[in-house]
Amino acid sequence: MAKNTETKYSVCTICDAGCQLRSEAVDGKLERIMAHDNPMLARNICYKGVAAPDIHNHKDRLRVPLKRIGKRGEDKWQEISYDQAMDEIADRLKSVVDRYGAEALAVSTSGWNTQTTHSTDRRFMNLLGSPNWISGVALCAGNTAAVNRITYGWFPQPDYANTKCIVLFGHNPRKHSWTPIYNAINLARSRGAKVIVLDPRVSDQAEKADLHLGLRAGTDAAMCLGWLKVIIDEDLFDQSFVNEWCLGFDDLRKRVDEYPLERVEAITGVDRELIAEAARLYANSDGATIPWTPITDQQISSTSAIRLHSILRAITGNLDIKGGETLGGFNADYIPESEIGLHDALSSEQKAKQLGFYDHPAFTYRVAEILKDPTEKTWGYPYADIVMGCQMANPTHVFRAMATGDPYPVKALFTLGNNTLLSYPNQHQILEGLMNQDLIVAHEIFMTPTAMLADYVLPGDVFSERNHIGDSWSWANRLTLSQKIAEPPEQASSTFQFWTDLAHRMGFAEHFPWSSLDDMLDHRLSRSNRTFAEFEATSFMEIPAPVYQKYLQTGFATPSGKVELYSSILDDLGFDPLPYYREGPALCEKYPYAVFTGVREDSFFQTGQRNIPVLRERSPSPKLFLHPADATAENVVEGDWVKLETKIGTVKAKISIHNTMKVGHIRVPHGWWYPELKGVEELAGAFISSDAVLCSDDDEFLDYEQGIPHFKGFPGRITKINAPQNMSSMVLKG
Ligand SMILES: Nc1nc2c(c(=O)[nH]1)N[C@H]1C(S)=C(S)[C@@H](COP(=O)(O)OP(=O)(O)OC[C@H]3O[C@@H](n4cnc5c(=O)[nH]c(N)nc54)[C@H](O)[C@@H]3O)O[C@H]1N2
Ligand SMILES: Nc1nc2c(c(=O)[nH]1)N[C@H]1C(S)=C(S)[C@@H](COP(=O)(O)OP(=O)(O)OC[C@H]3O[C@@H](n4cnc5c(=O)[nH]c(N)nc54)[C@H](O)[C@@H]3O)O[C@H]1N2
Ligand code: SF4
Ligand SMILES: [Mo]
């Protein structure tokens, strides 16, 4: 019989770059992922995306809801029906809420990989009364979005197509790591744009850069203060924009005067002439960009570093102009997550219970409430859920509350599309918190260490099995079509369906009137009088034409309506209103190396895909990068196993020697566990090589304003060991 072959558009969710690709199914089974048919988009594909059929059709994909029958974490299960699982979850959640209050429910989610209108989770939680929503975006882009809003009310996007200068603070996109950004940078470079890279290592981007500043890890804020010193002293800023649109320039200047280049050179380890040259190149470019980077999201002076990027953009006149960084706003054709989330349904009393609200408020409801009126005035909605990150609880406070009951008990955790145990700092505390839960629900596609700790594991669908319209996380305002091409396993659900079915069982049916995901997509498109079927029949991507300098009409969405160099919000909340540099925990004789987590592996996204042979073969084991001089001093050679210790934990990994590393620095990869050691090692080896075991979230490691941890240069030491047993004989079966 002739086979039935179909081709559709897909937005890949294997990583968070969200490439639009084409998928091909034969007789209803996903067989192939291909590049886009539009030449402008055809390069945006990497080998992880190509591996989607290996992931979606994997024999170990979860297909049936599971209920725990062994001890927590023992990985013993009974298969049950979806309806039974949902009934029992609802009953047990009601008991937790009756006993401890609604705030005893925490949700940890990725949001972007589960697609499907993620804010139904916020809607559910807001109706129930829980503010304790956390996500990996607290350490990645979500927190940058929130901190950008403090300065000028939105989170801008670089205009790669027109810029003359790109400044990468660590950020290192490659052919197989954030491919679309890599392509955009290459295109800009071929047009003549200059690239400045600030990275302790000679990274892939640094190798090709016009200027490379090999700063010491964790010193980005000091570097930016140095740039400002040059830019202000040499009058390289946009005088009229500063006069008309910026608040607190004189205060800023005084603060910047505390950072003469000799001091910045001493802190960062970069020659002062090079610092000045880079600052001049940036400021003198006619249209320059500092693209978002996760590196400043994850260090002790994070809030200041992010604010300094904002301030550099603003005073050099690069905000909301062609070739600079544009403020997108909401897409008027699509109901935004901010509206779906129903944030007004949560009372102020419950908002104030959000964990982190008082101590580390920068991305919590505390700031979101201050920005509510300005945001509505400028952007048309009171809440801006940019990259999901603008009204989150603080993860560290949530895990502490789970483990200790302080300031109140958190007793139920729902984790969706997130490997919670490995994806925040202080893995030992996370485990303690999880072991102390009355109810854990994991919505997953594979049995991860986190799912192993659950009471119920619900099988999720994947991107080839659901319709979706990507809205760039309300960051840019592009709409992107993703079409269902295969059926999900019968008992699998989308996260949209999960929240809807739970809401119906918890008495919130009237607020969840949508009968299906497609119905919800129709609702969201109703603002432009279209259905999903009409959208997919006519377009695969919609990008509104840019409108520059919108602030001339609307002002900025801050309390003053201006760019707040001196932050009225931070001032009101009792923090330093001006940016500053704070040194991370000091290296010492016992812990002489500056350890940073990162340098993402091409073959995996974060904690995922270690069970996918075509990807794992490319990167079979975790590697610590070391400079040859340090390797000699430690008496280790390529491929030796070592243990890496910090004050809170120890992991094991192989040594990989690179002369591109900075002396005195060690790179530790993120997210390693060993699916092949399931049943052999506790929690499939989740404590053997995971960076989260090493990263502390004690107060001395936390940024003051957001309370996010220092991943970039914490003290550690290495010792050579024999290869761990199971590891050397590791076999991965397909
Ligand atoms: N310790 C430490 N923590 C970190 C970082 C770090 O470097 N170190 N990095 C931070 C950064 S940069 C980020 S972006 C975040 C990332 O955090 P997340 O984006 O939450 O990534 P993961 O924790 O790897 O979890 C993703 C999980 O989703 C599952 N999954 C994939 N697709 C689907 C789907 O369609 N449906 C469902 N239900 N599940 C799916 C995968 O199997 C995987 O287990 O982590 C942050 N946390
Ligand atoms: N293949 C693949 N691609 C991915 C991902 C993946 O897991 N796999 N993850 C995606 C996600 S969620 C993210 S957030 C990005 C992350 O990707 P990138 O933004 O590229 O970040 P990293 O790879 O963590 O680190 C980049 C560089 O930061 C440097 N660095 C370390 N410490 C410091 C410091 O203190 N200051 C400065 N200026 N530089 C420092 C490192 O030497 C390294 O070269 O990648 C995305 N793309
Ligand atoms: S870069 Fe690769 S994994 Fe990420 S969205 Fe694009 S194709 Fe998928
Ligand atoms: Mo990230």
Give the list of residues 6+ apart from residue 611 with CB closer than 8 angstroms, or none.
Answer: 58, 60, 446, 675, 676, 732
CATH code given to domain 157-326+553-572: 3.40.228.10
Q: Is the pLDDT of residue 111 over 80?
A: no
User: Among all chains, which residue has been given the structure tokens 């592996």?
Assistant: 601
Give me the pLDDT at residue 454, please. 98
Give the list of residues 6+ apart from residue 337 with CB closer than 8 angstroms, or none.
Answer: 117, 118, 119, 122, 385, 388, 471, 473, 474
Say how many Å lie between the CA of residue 522 and the centre of ligand 3.
Answer: 27
Q: Is the pLDDT of residue 283 over 70?
A: yes
727 pLDDT tier (thresholds 50, 70, 90): low
Q: Is the pLDDT of residue 72 over 70?
A: yes
- Segment 715-728 shows an average pLDDT of 86
pLDDT tens digits, residue range 357-414? 999 999 999 999 999 999 999 999 999 999 998 999 999 999 999 999 999 999 999 9
Q: Residue 102: CB within 6 Å of ligand 2?
A: no
| The three-state (H, E, C) secondary structure of 116-138, written as one string | CCCCHHHHHHHHHCCCCEECHHH
Residue nearest to atom 29 of ligand 1 (CA): 417
Mutate which of 423, 441, 482 for ligand 1 pocket (most atoms within 8 A of beta carbon)? 423
Sheet strands side by side (includes 5-11):
5-11, 20-26, 29-34
User: Among all chains, which residue has been given the structure tokens 């009225």?
Assistant: 568
Q: What is the pTM of this model?
A: 0.98
Mean pLDDT of the chain: 96
| Distances, alpha carbon 76 to alpha carbons 68, 80, 91, in Å | 6, 13, 22
Reply yes or no on whether 16 is catalytic. Answer: yes
**Dist. CA 341–CA 392, nearest whole Å:** 12
Say how many Å lie between the CA of residue 15 and the centre of ligand 3.
Answer: 5
Tell me the CATH number of domain 593-729, given options 3.40.50.450, 2.40.40.20, 3.30.70.1060, 3.30.1330.40: 2.40.40.20
pLDDT tens digits, residue range 651-663? 999 999 999 999 9
Give me the pLDDT at residue 733, please. 42
Sort residue 221 into left (φ over 0), alpha (ψ -120 to 50) or beta: alpha
Q: Residue 606: CB within 6 Å of ligand 1?
A: yes
pLDDT tens digits, residue range 608-627? 999 999 999 999 999 999 99
pLDDT tens digits, residue range 572-599? 999 999 999 999 999 999 999 999 999 9
Give me the pLDDT at residue 58, please. 98
Give me the pLDDT at residue 577, please. 98
Q: Residue 601: CB within 6 Å of ligand 2?
A: yes
Q: What is the DSSP string of 686-721?
A: TTTS-GGGT---SGGGB-TTT--B--EEEEEEEEEE
Residue 200 identity: P
* Shortest-distance atom of ligand 3 to CA 17: 5
Q: Residue 503: CB within 6 Å of ligand 3?
A: no
Residue nearest to atom 45 of ligand 1 (CA): 136
Say how many Å lie between the CA of residue 607 and the centre of ligand 1.
Answer: 6
Mutate which of 295, 619, 625, 672 for ligand 2 pocket (most atoms within 8 A of beta carbon)? 295
pLDDT tens digits, residue range 233-256? 999 999 999 999 999 999 999 999
Say how many Å lie between the CA of residue 420 and the centre of ligand 1.
Answer: 8
- Segment 102-129 shows an average pLDDT of 92
Give me the pLDDT at residue 731, please. 44
pLDDT tens digits, residue range 430-451? 999 999 999 999 999 999 999 9
Q: Residue 140: CB within 6 Å of ligand 1?
A: yes
- For residue 579, whether the previous peptide bond is cis, meaning omega lies within 30 degrees of 0, is no
Above pLDDT 90, what percent of the chain?
96
Question: Regarding the domain delimited by 66-143+343-462+490-538, which CATH topology (the fold level of the hierarchy) does it fall under?
Answer: Rossmann fold (3.40.50)
Above pLDDT 70, what percent of the chain?
99
b/e for 248-286, b at 16 or more Cβ within 10 A?
bbeebeebbeebebebbbebbbbebeebbbbbebbbebe
Q: Residue 462: CB within 6 Å of ligand 1?
A: yes
Say how many Å lie between the CA of residue 134 and the centre of ligand 1.
Answer: 12
Mutate which of 15, 112, 114, 139 for ligand 1 pocket (most atoms within 8 A of beta carbon)? 139
Q: Where are the domains of the chain?
A: 66-143+343-462+490-538, 157-326+553-572, 593-729
